Amino acid sequence: MTSEPIQETHTVSNAEEKPPRKRPFFLKRYLPKSLLGRSLLIIITPLLLVQAISVWVFYDRHYETVTKRLAQGLAGDIAASILLLQDAESPYEKAHIFQLMQKTADLSLTLHHGIELPPTNWSPGWSVLERRLNQAIHDQIVKNLRKEYRYTIDTVSLIDQVKIQVQIEEGVLLVLVPSKRLFSSTTYLVILWMVGSSVITFGVAFIFMRNQVRPIQRLARAAESFGKGRDVKGFKPEGATEVRQASGAFIRMRSRIKRQVEHRTAMLAGVSHDLRTPLTRMKLQLAMSGDDEDTKNLQADVSDMEKMVEGYLAFARGEGREETASCDISSLLGDLVHQLGINNNPIDLHIEENIEISLRKENFKRAITNLVTNAQRYGDHVMICAKIRSAQLGRLLEITVDDDGPGIPEESRIDVLKPFFRLEQSRNQATGGIGLGLSIANDVISNHGGDLSLEEAPGGGLRARVTLPF
């Protein structure tokens, strides 16, 4: 059912000015926006903190202490070897010492005669092992033996051994030590356990959190679909208790809204029949009453009453019972422009691409018809543009209807979207309609999950901007 648009509705509705946005806390811009991401962050943050503390405690207490004890044991064996070599009087005794240390301490000793180490003292690098060996050798050999022995430590040249050279009187004593004597296997076990347990914990948390977030996502999709007027099928409460409560509340709300719409539709059917029947009888009686001036005035009044009733019913009917379906916007706007441009001012239509969107075709067509008819009534030139643009939450269909009419004052652009509001305050239907044209358009577009805003057109006049989410 068509309702005639009004001039007042012809204005652009600017939203109320929003207060300036406060600068968010600097960490907020780096936080995940999804519930799943934030939930995982809540789990991961303390997990990483605990792991970091554990690593520090293990490194400071366990690794450092164990390395120190192993280094002291090796330095004691080397000091014992030096003392035994000093007491040995023959090469046979020295060879016997080398074999003894190989069997009992797993040390490979070699004495190089006539060689001296560089005169500069060796200093350890960043390695914890080198620092611990340096401290242990200095304590066990230099301090205990009370003699300045020069030495070098090499932990990187050989793959499975540590090379230590000590300057003694006969030459340079080369000591090769297996790396396993200086490393604790628990180091790798602890690291593997910490990393492995973290990965397993994160995986389990991810699975559980995803299963908890899914019902919330389904509820959000169901609410969005219902807000756009689409039927929500197969939705049922699931998930945690709180999510089930929210889902149950949504289902009850949906049932109440549907029941209210059905009651309103049934009531409107009765009202339509009750009002149209006497109006039809009145028109018939007036048609048989003659052609005098009073009869013509009554006929005009009855015609105005019929238009008003049709307008009221069109506004109150709202969504009706039409189902949503895929619609070709190019075809819809093309047909509308052809129909409205036959006996009125020509309409320019610009469509960037073929656009398919799910909506209630007849309801949406009626809303755009009201916008275009208003533009034709108050302007000489009308232009319709349709395009797809990207937004923060996804893609939007944007349709603008521009005219070159007088437009609407900025302070009235919100009011004209309200039912029965007229800029022209007289009750003459020929000058201002009944104040429902833009209200019906706004109601239909809102029920599709979209937005209708009124602005000043670039060339003057009014621009009606319709945005619908895909």
Percentage of residues of the chain with pLDDT beyond 90: 3
The pLDDT score that the predictor gives to residue 174 is 92
Q: How many C-beta neighbours within 10 Å does residue 215 have? A: 19
Q: pLDDT for 421-434, tens place per residue?
A: 766 644 344 445 56
Please tell me the chain's helix, strand, coil percentages from 3-state DSSP, rounded to the nearest 5. Answer: 55, 15, 30
Q: Give the CATH number, domain containing residue 333.
A: 3.30.565.10
The pLDDT value recorded for residue 59 is 67
433 belongs to a structural domain? yes
Residue type, 113: H
- Tell me the pTM: 0.48
DSSP string, 221-285: HHHHHHHTT----S----SSHHHHHHHHHHHHHHHHHHHHHHHHHHHHHHHHHHHHHHHHHHHHH
**Three-state secondary structure call for residue 215:** helix
Output the pLDDT for position 348.
87
Work out the burial of residue 60: count CB atoms within 10 Å of its CB; fewer than 13 is exposed, 13-18 middle, 19 or more buried.
exposed
Cβ–Cβ < 8 Å for 110, 174: yes
DSSP 407: -
Q: For residue 8, is pLDDT > 60?
A: no
Residue 123 covered by a domain: no
33-47, 104-118, 306-320: which range is least confident on average? 306-320
Q: What is d(CA 170, CA 111) in angstroms, rounded to the nearest whole number? A: 8
pLDDT, position 88: 84
Q: What angle do CA 223, 228, 229 make, to 5 degrees?
A: 100
- Condensed to tens digits (0 to 9), the pLDDT of residues 13-38 reads 344 444 445 544 444 555 566 666 66
What is the per-residue pLDDT for 435? 66
Q: What pLDDT does residue 428 have?
A: 42
Q: Which residues are bridge partners to 456 per DSSP? A: 462
Mean pLDDT of the chain: 77
Name the residue range of residue 403's domain.
Answer: 323-469
pLDDT at position 424 is 61
Using the 8-state DSSP alphabet, how is residue 149 labeled?
Answer: -
The answer to whether position 384 is within a domain reads yes
- Output the pLDDT for position 176: 92
In one letter, which amino acid is 329? I
**What per-residue confidence (pLDDT) applies to 139?**
80
- Judge contact between 61 and 120, C-beta under 8 A: no
164 touches 78 (CB < 8 A): yes
**pLDDT of 145:** 73
Look at residue 9 and tell me whether its pLDDT is greater than 50: no
Per the domain annotation, does 54 fall within a domain?
Answer: no
Contact 309, 317 (CB under 8 A): no
Total domains in the fold of the chain: 1
pLDDT of residue 30: 55
pLDDT above 80: residue 455: yes
pLDDT exceeds cutoff 50 at 377: yes
Beta bridge partners of 400: 385, 465
**Whole-number Å distance between alpha carbons of 287 and 281:** 10
Amino acid identity, position 67:
T
In this prediction, residues 120-132 reach a mean pLDDT of: 78
Give CA separation, 156 vs 129, 179, 413, in Å. 11, 10, 80
Which of 460, 432, 459 minimizes the C-alpha distance to 8? Answer: 432
- Compute the radius of gyration of the chain from its Cα atoms: 44
The pLDDT value recorded for residue 12 is 37
DSSP per-residue string spanning 317-340: HTTTTPPPEEEEHHHHHHHHHHHH
Distance CA(40)–CA(290), nearest Å, equals: 83
* Residue range 206-231, pLDDT digits in tens: 888 888 888 888 888 888 777 766 67
CB 219 within 8 A of CB 246: yes
Q: Return the H-helix or E-strand segment holding 191.
A: helix 186-227
**Cβ atoms of 374 and 5 closer than 8 Å:** yes
Task: Give the mean pLDDT of 255-272.
Answer: 74
Q: What is the pLDDT of residues 138-153, one digit of tens each?
A: 887 777 777 778 888 8
Task: Give per-residue pLDDT as tens, 156-206.
Answer: 888 888 899 988 888 899 999 988 888 766 666 777 777 788 788 888 878
With both helix axes pointing from N to C terminus, report the angle between 329-340 and 361-378 in degrees, rounded to the nearest 10: 40
The yes-or-no verdict on residue 7 having pLDDT over 60 is: no
Q: What is the pLDDT of residue 393?
A: 63
Within 13 Å of residue 316, how many CA atoms lie on the same side as its CB? 17
> Does any domain span residue 438?
yes
- Note whether 376 and 340 are within 8 A (CB): yes
**Per-range mean pLDDT, top range of 269-273, 393-397, 444-448:** 444-448
Give the whole-number percent of the chain exceeding pLDDT 70.
Answer: 80
Question: Would residue 168 count as lying in a domain?
Answer: no
103 within domain boundaries:
no
The DSSP code sequence of 52-120 is HHHHHHIIIIIIHHHHHHHHHHHHHHHHHHHHHHHH--SHHHHHHHHHHHHHHH--EEEEEET----SS
Predicted local distance difference test score (pLDDT) of residue 2? 38
Mean pLDDT of 50-66: 73
pLDDT surpasses 80 at 322: no
Q: Is residue 51 part of a domain?
A: no
